[in-house]
Amino acid sequence: MNTRLGVKQKVALGITALIAIAASTVPASASTDTGGKWGSSDHWGVITRNTIGSPVADLRNGPFGSFGINGPSARPPYGRGSLGIEVADRSTSLTPPSEQVTFGNEVDFYGDRVLALNKVGFHVFQTGENVSYGGTGNLPNIKFEINPNLAAAPATTYSSMVWNPAPILSTNRWSPFLDATTTGTWFLTGNAGTVTGCNLSSQCTFQALKTALTDGGAQPTIYTAGVGKGRDYMWIGAVDGLRINRAIYDFEADGVKTRHAG
């Protein structure tokens, strides 16, 4: 049986063919995954190396509330979702027995300069129960795994650079933006902390930490970036709007969106 094509059908087929040809010539790098740029990235998830026990770090909707709370503090600061975090304090046979989790990105920040960090922080959903578990300073942290490149310790090529937020008093609602460059304290793990004096027992301001990392060696560089909790007190809450320089990472149930902070 002969089939006759009308003009519109021929045009449609021609357009379809052109689209197929164009799609076949798009390089792999031109995908919707924009890495650390504006848009979204597939590179966020639980960093398994930095996870102990069976904690939860899950992209979710909400939290909205708590009950009776209205206004901006009753919903995530960006979109409809957030990163839900749950860790327990006495759930492992290790010392200490508490859990740890880090939700982060092991790809997009690799090789970035530590000293170029100038705006860091997030919003947190804190509860009264979390305060009862560990006080008003019982909060998640921001962690950069770095190569400190210290002239005083050239063999030390790894350290975790950790921000602990200052205590907050508001509970059962979303906090304002917590600025890690002007509030809270930072420390370095391992030998880098010992050499710089910015360690767990003697924590530093953000500016003091950057100064300590400027000792005449090569530029310190970032391996990974993330947020997490542990190993200390039980904590069940959420984080949203992680800011790293001009990018705001909006945690949503369907993925991590990247917004331009201006």
Beta-sheet strands, E only, within 73-197:
81-87, 101-105, 120-126, 141-147, 159-164, 173-174, 178-179, 185-188
pLDDT of residue 41: 83
CA distances from 127 to 15, 94, 138, 218 (A): 56, 27, 10, 42
The pTM score is 0.84
pLDDT at 107: 97
* pLDDT tens profile 184-209: 999 999 999 999 999 999 999 999 99
Which of 259, 256, 254, 255 is CA-nearest to residue 243?
259
Q: What is the mean pLDDT of residues 79-86?
A: 98
- Is the pLDDT assigned to residue 34 strictly greater than 50? no
What is the SS3 assignment for 3? coil
Q: Is the pLDDT of residue 133 over 70?
A: yes
pLDDT at 2: 42
pLDDT of 201 reads 97
pLDDT at position 165, please? 98
Q: Name the residue range of residue 209's domain.
A: 34-260
Q: How confident is the model at residue 131 (pLDDT cuts 50, 70, 90)?
A: very high
pLDDT at 183: 98
Q: Is residue 79 part of a domain?
A: yes
Question: Residue 217 domain-assigned?
Answer: yes
* Domain membership flag for residue 89: yes
* Residue 21 lies inside a defined structural domain of this protein: no
Asked whether the bond before 55 is cis by omega within 30 degrees of 0, the reply is: no
Residue 38 pLDDT: 60
Residue 177 falls inside a structural domain = yes
Find the mean pLDDT for residues 234-239: 98
Residue 116 lies in a domain: yes
Whether residue 1 is predicted with pLDDT greater than 90 in this model: the reply is no
Examine residue 108 and state whether it is found in any structural domain, yes or no.
Answer: yes
pLDDT value, residue 39 = 76
Tell me how many domains the chain contains.
1
- Share above pLDDT 90 across residues of the chain, in percent, rounded to a whole number: 82
- Return mean pLDDT, the chain: 89
Let me know if residue 189 belongs to a domain.
yes
Q: What percent of the chain has pLDDT over 70?
A: 85
